[in-house]
Chain A
Amino acid sequence: MKYKISVRRFRDGVQFVQTYIIEAPPTTTVLDALINIREDLDGTVAFRYACRMGVCGVCAVKVNGRPVLACTTKLGDLGSHEIYIEPIQDKNIIKDLVVDI
């Protein structure tokens, strides 16, 4: 399945949206999609993750406007092939999706 993933980025005081097209099965989690982007397309995009299994909460981001854990949210469950990922609200952004927690 083809997904258009837009990431709201922030670095050196500049904010912008960057879009990546990835090919992935609908069972792929948002976290795995981000890891794939890092490994194959763009090593500069930053985010946090640790346990990868919905326990620690570190990978919290907003996906299509809703706060979720990236590691427990699957692309196929989002009801759209266009996915917008941004940092969680009300926290200072350190870089890209990484906020001061």
Chain B
Amino acid sequence: MEFVQWHPTALIPSGILISEAARAEGAYLVNREGERFMKRYAPQQMELAPRDVVSRAIAMECKAGRGFMWKGKLCYVGLDIRHLDPSRVKERLPLLLETVKTYAGIDPFSELIPVAPAVHYFMGVIHTDLHGRVLDPYGNWIKGLWAAGEVAAVSVHGANRLGSNSLSECAVWGRIAGEAAAKYALENRSGAVEEYIRAIAEEEERRILYVLGRRETGGIPAAHVKSASQKVVTKGAGIFRNAESTAEAIAELVKLMNNFRNININDTSRIYNMELREVIELDGMLQAAYALLLGAYLRTESRGAHYRIDYPKRDDKHWLRHTIVYKYGDSFIAAYQPVKIEGWPPEMRQY
């Protein structure tokens, strides 16, 4: 869970992605001084360096005070397409032009596009095997359960996904998991499920109906807990991490998890209840955030998207392994599994 990919160029302030295609077509990234700062971080690849490198570079420029400020609170840099041929841009990047005009209200042929890194993709999440089957912490398949796409950690991406690979992941494992699930369903037509799975499902249903039936007044709005948790995780395990920041964030997050118990829900209807869905999502979000922070705190090295200021080097001797976080009662437990390397051992990353 600790490997979170930041996309370097999200539009300010909406957070809508400005595709890598812009930089592939030759767009520059510039700081407030008009300097193509990537020359300091990746002199060969420049703007086309991997996402984690570019995101860290932008964050470094901001730390050094060379970024622009949006409303005095959000640091960003400029994406410059002014030197590109407008007719080619119109042909190759129509969505970019439309998005920038609608959501930033600027003309990218005469002004810089304001961009900053934004959380984009989770390399980890649900532990699965190569067939997309969901595994428990001991490596046993949880019968009848598959995961595919971003939510699954098949481990094709390692600690750092390359652009577009999520699409192939969806296509490949979507098919593998889909076919396997269909086959399983055909072979198990009786609909009988194992007793313990039925018990879990019933418990979950009771939990949700309990939330729906509370009908309390007062309490804390879910949106507040959500925005507070976003701040906590960004601060504790954002682009740069260290032992102190992640430990503090864990403590803060535990407080929010306690607040979550006092969340108020106004909509008690059983039809298209957005509020209930948001509260259930928030519950999952808080637990995922805990797993993320715990993994980031324990991993005392830097690898791919996980960058620890206090441990800036990759440490294959100790850390060539997967973090598996699972719940035991109300406690979160972190376990580790070795990474199986077949064919291509990881090399030194140099830019």
Q: How far is the CB of A34 from chain B (nearest CB, A)?
A: 11
- CB atoms of A53 and B274 under 8 A apart: no
Q: How far is it, in angstroms, between the C-alpha of A47 and the C-alpha of B102 when the chains are bound?
A: 22
- Are B223 and A39 within 8 A (Cβ)? yes
Majority secondary structure, A binding face: loop
| Residue of B14, B16, B95, B272 touching A95 (CB-CB under 8 A) | B272
| A43 interfacial by beta-carbon distance below 8 Å | yes
* Residue numbers in A under 8 Å from B150 (CB-CB): none
Q: Does B234 touch A at the CB level, under 8 Å? A: no
- Chain A residues within 8 Å of B267, by CB: 43-44, 46
Residues of B within 8 A of A15 (CB): none
Known interface pairs A38-B274, A46-B272; A53-B266 also in contact (CB < 8 Å):
no
Q: A44-B267, A52-B16, A53-B99 are in contact. Are A94 and B274 (CB under 8 A)?
A: no
- From residue A1, how far is it (CB to closest CB) to chain B in Å? 15
Instruction: Given A11-B269, A42-B266, decide whether A54 and B102 contact each other with a Cβ distance below 8 A.
Output: yes
Partner of B221, one of A12, A39, A44, A95: A39
Please tell me if the beta carbons of A44 and B102 are within 8 angstroms of each other in the complex. no
Residues facing B in A23-54 (CB within 8 A) are 27, 38-40, 42-44, 46-47, 52-54
Majority-rule SS of B interface residues:
loop
**Residue contact A27 to B223, C-beta cutoff 8 Å:** no
Contacts of B275 in A (CB 8 A): 38, 43-44
For B265, list chain A residues within 8 Å (CB): 43
Chain B residues contacting A27 (CB-CB under 8 Å) are 105
- B265: min CB distance to chain A, Å: 7
Are A11 and B99 closer than 8 Å at their CB atoms?
no
A12 with B102: CB separation less than 8 A: no
A43 x B266 contact (CB < 8 A): yes
B336 at the A interface (CB under 8 A): no
Within the assembled complex, what's the spacing in Å between the Cα atoms of A74 and B267? 28
CA distance A72 to B98 in the complex (A): 10
Instruction: Assess A11 versus B105: contact at CB under 8 Å? Given A39-B223, A44-B266, A52-B16.
Output: no
**Cβ A53 vs Cβ B223 within 8 A:** no
Contact A94 B271 (CB under 8 A): yes
Q: Which residues of B contact A (CB under 8 A)?
A: 14, 16, 95, 98-99, 102-103, 105, 221-223, 265-267, 269, 271-275
Query: Could you pull out 15 A-B pairs where Cβ atoms are within 8 angstroms?
Result: A38-B223, A38-B275, A39-B223, A43-B222, A43-B265, A44-B266, A46-B274, A52-B14, A52-B16, A53-B14, A53-B99, A54-B102, A72-B102, A95-B271, A95-B272
Interface residues of A (CB under 8 A from B): 11-12, 27, 38-40, 42-44, 46-47, 52-55, 72, 74, 94-95, 98
